[in-house]
């Protein structure tokens, strides 16, 4: 399932954006894991890090991918994507939220921010 989405991205070679959203403690835990796993040096405030205030009702982080071209998108992922009307909607038409997919993409060489 994840490999199918990776194949889709590689086949249509489009510009995408990956971000993480969450409260500070969860974001810091994510950053520590991300940096140690991929020899990166991202920090709060960097592109792709969306810090939420503590008043927001969110328990964990959310990893998202933004893209435009759906040509050849696998059926499963086509059913999970939705129109992007908020964050980066001036750049990207679609958004998918799936933490496991994003970790798979990170393991496959994609990184936070623009790819």
| Tens of pLDDT, residues 10-60 | 999 899 999 999 999 999 999 999 999 999 999 998 999 998 877 666 678
The structure tokens 């954006």 sit at: 17
Distance CA 7, CA 90 (A): 26
The structure tokens 């020899």 sit at: 39
Non-local CB neighbours of 68 within 8 Å, separated by 6+ positions: 14, 15, 92, 93, 94
Q: Count up the domains in the chain and report the number.
A: 1
Parent domain of 84: 2-114
Residue 55 C-alpha from the chain's centroid: 23
Is pTM beyond 0.85 here? yes
* Residues 65 and 17: beta-carbon distance below 8 Å: yes
């Amino acid at each position: 399932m994840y490999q199918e989405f990776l194949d889709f991205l590689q086949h249509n070679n489009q510009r995408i954006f990956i971000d993480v959203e969450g409260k500070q403690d969860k974001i810091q835990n994510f950053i520590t894991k991300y940096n140690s796993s991929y020899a990166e040096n991202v920090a709060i405030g960097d592109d792709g890090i969306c810090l939420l205030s503590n008043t927001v009702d969110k328990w964990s982080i959310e990893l998202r991918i933004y893209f435009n071209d759906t040509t050849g998108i696998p059926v499963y992922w086509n059913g999970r994507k939705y129109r992007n009307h908020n964050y980066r909607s001036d750049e990207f038409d679609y958004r998918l939220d799936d933490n496991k997919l994003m970790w798979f993409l990170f393991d496959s060489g994609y990184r936070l921010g623009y790819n």
